[in-house]
Structure 1
């Protein structure tokens, strides 16, 4: 990150210091402008304008307000935040302030891009038609991740959402991976970095990381930096970019804390009234650009107390196009939803995808009911026993988030599973799909060959006798 350090205005009187927020009187300042705060001991820090009330300016100090004097000097830089953008940022890790975290070469001389611009003109958006294969069966089979989609992973503390997000990152079919970590503890940061390195995707990955011990304002900048870089890769280099952000609840909590420091009146559960707007401005960066690449956004949103009505997941659900509900260590097939899957299922995937998806979920729902009947000691029918067998195979082969297979391989395994548990006439599927994909059983091939011979004999006309007209 680079700034023009020639100050437009110099101020030496700070009226108030509340936490990391300082207030002073100034004119000619715009919301989002950057400033340099130099303390009386000579140490300086960047700050960002987060509030304007007539001539009273509120700034969020990156390094925090601890030890800051009211006699500190504030120099407004007359420009908004920007972040470095060039091919050199791939394989690099940056702080929430935009400075390198990995000890690599300085990139201040590289081109920069403005952070926090407007969302894309709808005229330049293309209807999503392509699937991003993640090799996670519960996503690829039942709730496809569609290129340019914005979708969260709803989870709670203790669930393996980090493992799932990292797995999608290094297995997804994408050109560039942009990772944004919000309030991560060091162990989580190390896990993501190691996962991307060990699976060979770090060379096409850029990471923006705000750790739990870093300044709060940097937590708010990470999504904007990640999305600004992702948009540049998509528009200027025609890349299919996948953006991973975790955790958006930490992002919302940071907004709430800053709102309290600004003495703003909170709305529901202490969150500010513009929570929906702030989240939507970030999520709406997802786009399939006409004549260029795409930006797909996948986030983690933790639900305090597993409460889906909490303001953060509740507002998120109105913005995004579905959710992956991580519950009990699995992606819940009943709570998850991808509203864009109909754009790709059976179109960019195999013809049997839709029928297989519906049949598998229908049988699993019935298997859950059969398990309840068994637990309550009700008498089970022969079909119930088939359902119980099917339920065990479904959980083992598909529900585990550690299972990795392509969508074609997964569809074939679905047919194999159905063939092991049910008869063809029990599937209630289109007959031509059953004839084409249902696995052969012992003797079925011979019977099929015999029927083909019979049909061929019937179809062939008898030879014409000599002298007879054709």
Structure 2
């Protein structure tokens, strides 16, 4: 048992400062007040001055309370019994079930050894055409969903969780409204995937310091499952709430603020979480999809701005759809046409090029220009593209999505107008359209 410190020097918000020696950064502490014990974690050590953040808040704690250091960092339970369970930001069950009895593992450790990583080359199917077809999600990829409050990003995240090819889904919710929490729970239960889902939920009404633990717990558990050979998909929402919690803590600690009040190590804090994504040689992998809301739809805001330097692309969710022009998957070239059909790359580029031309035709109309017959064709094509592929209600395996692309093209264009290779046209152009053109 560690020594007990009998005096807290100062309490500021959820932060307590005291004097102690032989204490390590990240170490857990128990604040013992009359009738209660509250967990805390060391977040700064300056010689003998130690700062701890109190997970349950400092309400009811006084400077006369005792603090006991536990000699180890924050830990989370790991094992098969976590499947289908829901935990709060401190790792405590909130689903009415028993406390897991498996081993405890430390959270917040370093990312996986780069020497044991392999080049990503496996696609994760989601049955969402705007992902599978145009910006394929690859095992071990780290991708944010850039959006604004009010967009259906949690609905998109839940749908990916329901349909993605993964052995285990781990949801880390940060600052969730109660309605969003119950939406995820109900969606996973009704879709029949809850038995392979683990949820770590910090609600908006919970202490802010617990928000910082959620991604670390989710990723620590994910790493263990991946080492055991499982394909793990980690869903995080919302990383802007995580960054805001960092800012609040840094202000309480009187740190010198950086851009817009965020701490100077915001990039490192985000990168240490995102870099947990990995494809492990001879084992499983971790794929990370994280919502990042942009205040004022400003992509230069510090959180999305720093995120863009860390991740391998992004999905832009605007007006209820995934924007095909702002979205990018930098690893899709590892799977497109290699683990998917040979027409994937050509049809993807052709569809986007023609949709871009449709956007230009719409701009002509907006500026009062006269449109040509070709513009009218593009406008009709763009409408079908949005209805049959971009709409998030569309649910198709990638093979059927590719076939639908060919059908849409044949509906509006002759093969020569698409610029597609003749060998692909001969193999994939809808048969009924070929016969009509021959007649």
Smaller-chain TM-score bracket: over 0.9
* 1:17 counterpart (8, 11, 19): 11
Change (3 A) 1:70 1:128: same
Task: Map 1:36-55 to 2 at 5 A.
Answer: 36-39=30-33, 41-55=34-48
Q: Which residue of 1 aligns with 2:317?
A: 326
| Residue 159 of structure 1: how far off its partner (Å) | 0.6
| Contact 2:27 2:71 survives alignment (8 Å) | yes
Residue 187 (str. 1) matches residue 207 (str. 2)? no
| Contact 2:89 2:210 survives alignment (8 Å) | yes
Q: Which residue of 1 aligns with 2:74?
A: 81
| Contact 2:30 2:68 survives alignment (8 Å) | yes
Give the SS at the match of 1:441. Answer: helix
Change (3 A) 1:443 1:250: closer
- State the Cα deviation string for residues 149-196 of structure 1 (Å, max 9, x = none): 000000001111111111111011111000000011100000011111
| Residue 446 of structure 1: how far off its partner (Å) | 10
Residue 159 (str. 1) matches residue 151 (str. 2)? yes
Provide the rounded CA distance (Å) in 2 between the counterparts of 1:29 and 1:404: 53
Change (3 A) 1:65 1:380: same
Provide the rounded CA distance (Å) in 1 between the counterparts of 2:302 and 2:185: 30
- State the Cα deviation string for residues 308-327 of structure 1 (Å, max 9, x = none): 00000000000000000011
Provide the rounded CA distance (Å) in 1 between the counterparts of 2:368 and 2:262: 48
Q: Which residue of 2 aligns with 1:379?
A: 370
Give the SS at the match of 1:74. Answer: strand
* 2:108 counterpart (116, 119, 126): 116
Provide the rounded CA distance (Å) in 2 between the counterparts of 1:205 and 1:440: 43
- After TM superposition, the structure 1 stretch with the greater mean CA deviation from structure 2, 306-315 or 398-407, is 398-407
- After TM superposition, the structure 1 stretch with the greater mean CA deviation from structure 2, 374-383 or 12-21, is 374-383
Provide the rounded CA distance (Å) in 2 between the counterparts of 1:226 and 1:134: 21
Residue 94 (str. 1) matches residue 87 (str. 2)? yes
Provide the rounded CA distance (Å) in 2 between the counterparts of 1:442 and 1:97: 60
Task: Map 1:31-430 to 2 at 5 A.
Answer: 31-39=25-33, 41-107=34-100, 109-236=101-228, 238-430=229-421
Give the SS at the match of 1:410. Answer: helix
Change (3 A) 1:308 1:446: closer
Provide the rounded CA distance (Å) in 2 between the counterparts of 1:182 and 1:8: 32
| Root mean square deviation, CA, Å | 1.2
Change (3 A) 1:443 1:59: closer
| Contact 2:410 2:433 survives alignment (8 Å) | no
- State the Cα deviation string for residues 77-134 of structure 1 (Å, max 9, x = none): 1111111011000000011111101010221x31121111111111100000011011
The count of aligned residue pairs is 439
The TM-score normalised by the length of structure 1 is 0.92
Change (3 A) 1:432 1:328: same
Provide the rounded CA distance (Å) in 1 between the counterparts of 2:368 and 2:436: 41
Tell which structure's C-alpha radius of gyration is larger. Answer: 1
Give the SS at the match of 1:110. Answer: coil
Give the SS at the match of 2:16. Answer: strand
Change (3 A) 1:443 1:414: closer
Give the SS at the match of 1:244. Answer: strand
Give the SS at the match of 2:138. Answer: coil
The TM-score normalised by the length of structure 2 is 0.98
Give the SS at the match of 2:303. Answer: helix
Give the SS at the match of 1:259. Answer: helix
- State the Cα deviation string for residues 55-95 of structure 1 (Å, max 9, x = none): 10000011111221100000001111111011000000011
Give the SS at the match of 1:263. Answer: coil
Q: Which residue of 2 aligns with 1:455?
A: none
- State the Cα deviation string for residues 16-58 of structure 1 (Å, max 9, x = none): 000000000000000000011011x221110000011111000
Provide the rounded CA distance (Å) in 2 between the counterparts of 1:195 and 1:208: 16
Give the SS at the match of 1:15. Answer: strand
| Residue 377 of structure 1: how far off its partner (Å) | 3.3
Provide the rounded CA distance (Å) in 2 between the counterparts of 1:442 and 1:71: 83
| Residue 440 of structure 1: how far off its partner (Å) | 2.3
Give the SS at the match of 1:318. Answer: helix
Change (3 A) 1:230 1:364: same
* 1:434 counterpart (417, 425, 429): 425
Change (3 A) 1:96 1:446: closer
Structure 1 residues not aligned, in runs of 5+: 1-6, 449-470
Structure 2 residues not aligned, in runs of 5+: none
Provide the rounded CA distance (Å) in 1 between the counterparts of 2:92 and 2:138: 32
